[in-house]
Amino acid sequence: MSVLRSAPLGVVCLLYAAMLGAAPLPVPPSAAAAPLRKALQSVWQASPEVQAARAALDAARAHARAAAQPLYNPELSLEAENADVDRRVAGLSLALDLSGKRRARASRGEADVEVSEAGYVLLRRDIAARWLKAWSTAALAQRQDELGRQRLGLMQRFDALAMQRLQVGDISSPERDLAGLALAEAGMQQALLIGHEAAARAALLAISGESTIQLPPLPEGLPPVADSITPLAIDTLPELQQARALQQSAEAAVQVASRARLPDPTVSLAGGRVRNGPISDRVIGLNISIPLPVLNTGRAEVEAAHADADAAAAQLRSRQFIRRADLQEAQIRYVALREAAVAFRHGRAAAFGDRTALLEKLWRAGETSTSDYLTQLKQSLDTALSGHELESQTWQAWFDYLTAAGRLNDWLDGRTGEASR
């Protein structure tokens, strides 16, 4: 009996020592990001949200071109009268933009284009982050399903062995029942894992819209350390660029409202012929008219535009505070999860296959009871499932950190070593 005990324990000790000496290598950006970048290209092309943002950007550019056009078109008037005096007069009038309304509208149109451009970039980044996190969840569900199938196979073999040992009298009938119950529980838990994988893939499908995209497997290694990337300056992040463009648009709206208060004159030039009996004269007329801003001065519109500009400036400052806090939180969370994942891989808890094999040998040798075997096997499986989930959360935290640092696209392109862009 001592020989049976020492041999497997010695093997496990050697495996454990080897695990302690092997550190999980971080995944190189090119190795992990290349297949993801290819998949994301398909996601962006198929995403209705990206298509809508692109259409909104095209519309903003068209509105900007429209805002840069002259405000007023000339008016042609024709006048004819047959009475005591016959009149035939043609006139041309044009309102003159002397207050700079066109320039103000053009400035606001350009600012609105910048808002749409920043929103387009921000949407693509957010879709990429959502898809990457959903991908890691789906990859985790696939790993857990494979582990669950392994558990189901173990329980089936254990149930068959328990029946054999019951027939020869090595175990009692209650212990045989424990094996049957464990097999039934493994089948139910496997059904739950299959459901979780289906839900994860459905969430992924809701983002990509395509079920034909080849999903890359979750890398065997862990993401790089947090110090491997240099976060961009807060003001260069897409959220801040969009908020700053919104502030510029609001300030341009103040100029538009201020210019709208100033009346523009209308100049009219008319010419023709007037016949009064035998007398016929040519006439030329010049007319200048200007509206009087008496009933509606436009002051309320200017005050409202100023208030909108103040709100946009406050929103910009708020975004700055939020993004700084998000970066700090994402970095701390990622470092903690990665350290926990490294510790899990270095520890004995990661050796699920070796531990289950050892438990089965001990149970066959009669050195552990059926209940103890099932208890330890369940603990080993729960720990293995938790380890997979920890690594998936580490990858999700890595994506959150890249997003908060403004480096998600750089990581996908293999350019995280740059200090700025």
The pLDDT of residue 241 is 92
Question: What residue spans of 290-347 are helical by DSSP H?
Answer: 299-346
How do the domains of the chain map onto residue ranges? 2-72+102-257+303-412
DSSP states along 54-87:
HHHHHHHHHHHHHHTS-S---EEEEEEE-SSSEE
Rounded CA separation 80/88 (Å): 5
3-state secondary structure of 23: coil
Distance CA 272, CA 182 (A): 106
Q: Taking the model in full, what pTM does it have?
A: 0.76
Given this model, what pLDDT does residue 391 score?
Answer: 87
160-167, long-range: CB < 8 A, 24+ apart: 161/364, 162/370
Q: What amino acid occupies position 348?
A: R
Looking at the structure, give the CATH architecture of the domain made up of residues 2-72+102-257+303-412: Up-down Bundle (1.20)
CA 191 from chain center: how many Å?
31
Three-point CA angle 224, 225, 226, nearest 5° = 120
Contact at 8 Å (CB) between 289 and 265? yes
Q: Which two tokens stand for residue 188?
A: 């139910």
Q: What local confidence, expressed as pLDDT, does residue 250 receive? A: 94
Residue partners of 132: CB distance under 8 A and separation at least 6: 36, 40, 395, 396, 399
Q: How far is CA 28 from its chain centroid?
A: 22
- Going by C-alpha positions, the residue among 15, 25, 8 that lies closest to residue 351 is 15
In one-letter notation, the amino acid at residue 22 is A
Phi, psi torsion values for 100, nearest 5 degrees = 80, 30
Q: What is the C-alpha separation between 193 and 149, in angstroms, rounded?
A: 9
Tokens at residue 186, please? 């493994």
Tokens of residue 29, six digits: 């950006």
Residues 6+ away with beta carbon under 8 Å from 344: 350, 387, 390, 391
So what's the pLDDT on residue 32?
A: 65
Q: At what angle do helices 299-346 and 2-21 cross, to 10 degrees?
A: 140
Nearby residues of 388 by Cβ (< 8 Å), 6 or more positions away? 140, 143, 144, 147
- Rounded to whole angstroms, the Cα distance separating 134 from 205 reads 9
* Residue 247 pLDDT: 94
Tokens at 395, concatenated: 């990858």
Walk along the chain (421 residues) and give the pLDDT tens digit of each residue: 333 333 333 333 333 333 333 334 444 444 667 778 888 888 888 888 999 999 999 999 999 999 999 999 999 998 888 877 788 889 999 999 988 999 999 999 999 999 999 999 999 999 999 999 888 888 888 888 888 888 888 788 878 877 887 787 777 788 778 878 888 888 888 898 888 888 888 888 888 776 556 677 777 788 889 888 889 999 899 999 999 999 999 999 999 999 999 999 999 999 888 887 777 788 888 999 999 988 888 899 999 999 999 999 999 999 999 999 999 999 999 999 999 999 888 876 556 667 777 877 887 777 777 778 788 877 888 888 888 889 889 999 999 999 999 999 888 887 755 433 3
The amino acid at residue 306 is H
C-alpha 47, offset from chain centre: 12
Q: How far apart are alpha carbons 142 and 159 in whole angstroms? A: 25
